[in-house]
């Protein structure tokens, strides 16, 4: 694809609003805020590509966004639109990353952030971010689905912008990742793999790929493969899950807000929404860290776990270009890593022989 057909790149670090102004719902009154979100790396696999039999396998490192997850792409648009309307505060329900992102952009823009989180189910790194950015945090005795219901009720009664992915501006911002993938590959991939929780992201990616195709930036649209955790797989099962369970806390959601968006993406693309077990998720989490050098949070590994499952199940991947979205950083959930990799440090003497012995070099 020639460079003329690409979107205006904008200056490096200029952010999603500037770079994708022509595909976002912006007006002259929308403030061009940014924390440098978007423009994330698309890196080729060095080991899993061969194991899965893909023609080419890439990872879209959304963990490289300013707050460490893809949520920043949508949040920057949602917060800018809230400011345009004159809102002074934003509110979200969150499994962690949405609150981290909302808190960061609110701090930057001088808004008050409120977050409602399920008590005891938020990874430490994510909670630390919301605290550090000065968000007002309400922990509830309930799950994410309760938190979202309450967030809707509060924003119905008070002049506070709801910045969950039920806010259409979130989806608009998140679709820009598809444009970046198409720009990098100079066409759409054949298959896109990603984790599915509240299902905003699969909805957004599909919209982005459809628009790329309509604008003739891509010659085709990818098949969408979404993966839910087996203990939190309402779309796979076709019914809400009352008490969702999984180590992948970012996708521990029993009644996704963008359910129809996900089934549309699945059906229109000829794709699938399937379940992977926690064991498969943690296996992919380990393999990404140790065989690819990519440290992601467990939810992010679900897309890769799903690809491995499909490859093992005999899916025809030869010659196919596949992209797995790495949705969030492993630094979000250090406790999981310490548990998974079972680190027990025994200090040795600060002397060369002791160090060599410990390294297995003696």
Ligand X SMILES: *Cc1c(COP(=O)(O)O)cnc(C)c1O
Give the residues lining the site for ligand X (CB under 6 A). 69, 71, 97, 165, 195-201, 250-251, 297, 299-300, 327-328
Considering beta carbons, is residue 84 or 283 the nearer one to ligand X?
283
Considering beta carbons, is residue 187 or 200 the nearer one to ligand X?
200
User: Tokens representing 142?
Assistant: 């309930």
C-alpha–C-alpha distance, residues 65 and 167, integer Å: 20
C-alpha–C-alpha distance, residues 225 and 77, integer Å: 26
Report in angstroms how near the CB of residue 133 gets to ligand X at its nearest. 16
CA atoms within 13 A on the CB side of 120: 2
Q: Residue 291 carries which DSSP code?
A: I
Q: Residue 305 carries which DSSP code?
A: H
Report in angstroms how near the CB of residue 123 gets to ligand X at its nearest. 9
Residues 6 or more apart in contact with residue 40 via CB below 8 angstroms: 60, 61, 62, 63, 64, 65, 177, 180
The CB-nearest residue to ligand X is 328
Considering beta carbons, is residue 7 or 304 the nearer one to ligand X?
304
Report in angstroms how near the CB of residue 312 gets to ligand X at its nearest. 23
Considering beta carbons, is residue 170 or 221 the nearer one to ligand X?
170
Considering beta carbons, is residue 34 or 228 the nearer one to ligand X?
228
Report in angstroms how near the CB of residue 94 gets to ligand X at its nearest. 8
DSSP string for residues in 188-218: --SEEEEE-SSSHHHHHHHHHHHHHHHTTS-
Report in angstroms how near the CB of residue 14 gets to ligand X at its nearest. 24
């Amino acid at each position: 694809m020639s460079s003329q057909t690409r979107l205006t790149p904008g200056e490096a670090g200029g952010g999603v609003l500037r770079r994708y102004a022509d595909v976002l719902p912006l007006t002259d009154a929308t403030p061009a805020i940014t924390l440098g979100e978007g423009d994330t790396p698309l890196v080729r696999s060095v080991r899993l590509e061969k194991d899965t039999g893909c023609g080419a396998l890439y990872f879209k490192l959304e963990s490289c966004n300013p707050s460490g997850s893809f949520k920043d792409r949508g949040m920057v648009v949602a917060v800018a639109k809230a400011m345009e309307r004159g809102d002074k505060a934003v509110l979200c329900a969150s499994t962690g990353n949405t609150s981290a992102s909302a808190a960061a952009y609110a701090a930057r823009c001088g808004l008050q952030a409120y977050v409602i989180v399920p008590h005891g189910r938020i990874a430490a790194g994510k909670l630390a971010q919301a605290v550090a950015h000065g968000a007002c945090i309400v922990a509830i005795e309930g799950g994410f689905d309760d938190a979202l219901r309450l967030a809707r009720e509060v924003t119905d009664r008070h002049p506070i912008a709801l910045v969950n992915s039920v806010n259409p501006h979130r989806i608009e911002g998140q679709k820009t990742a598809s444009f970046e993938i198409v720009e990098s590959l100079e066409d759409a991939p054949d298959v896109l793999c990603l984790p599915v929780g509240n299902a905003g992201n699969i909805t957004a990616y599909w919209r982005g790929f459809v628009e790329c195709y309509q604008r003739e930036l891509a010659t085709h649209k990818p098949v969408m493969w979404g993966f839910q955790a087996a203990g939190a797989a309402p779309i796979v099962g076709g019914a809400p899950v009352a008490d969702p369970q999984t180590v992948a806390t970012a996708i521990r959601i029993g009644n996704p807000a963008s359910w129809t968006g996900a089934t549309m993406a699945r059906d229109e693309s000829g794709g699938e929404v399937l379940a992977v077990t926690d064991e498969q998720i943690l296996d992919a989490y380990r393999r990404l860290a140790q065989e690819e050098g990519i440290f992601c949070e467990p939810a992010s590994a679900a897309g890769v776990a799903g690809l491995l499952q499909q490859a093992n199940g005999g899916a025809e991947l030869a010659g196919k270009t596949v992209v797995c979205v790495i949705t969030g950083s492993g630094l979000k959930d250090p406790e999981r890593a310490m548990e998974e990799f079972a680190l027990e440090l025994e200090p040795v003497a600060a002397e060369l022989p002791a160090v060599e012995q410990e390294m297995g070099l003696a």
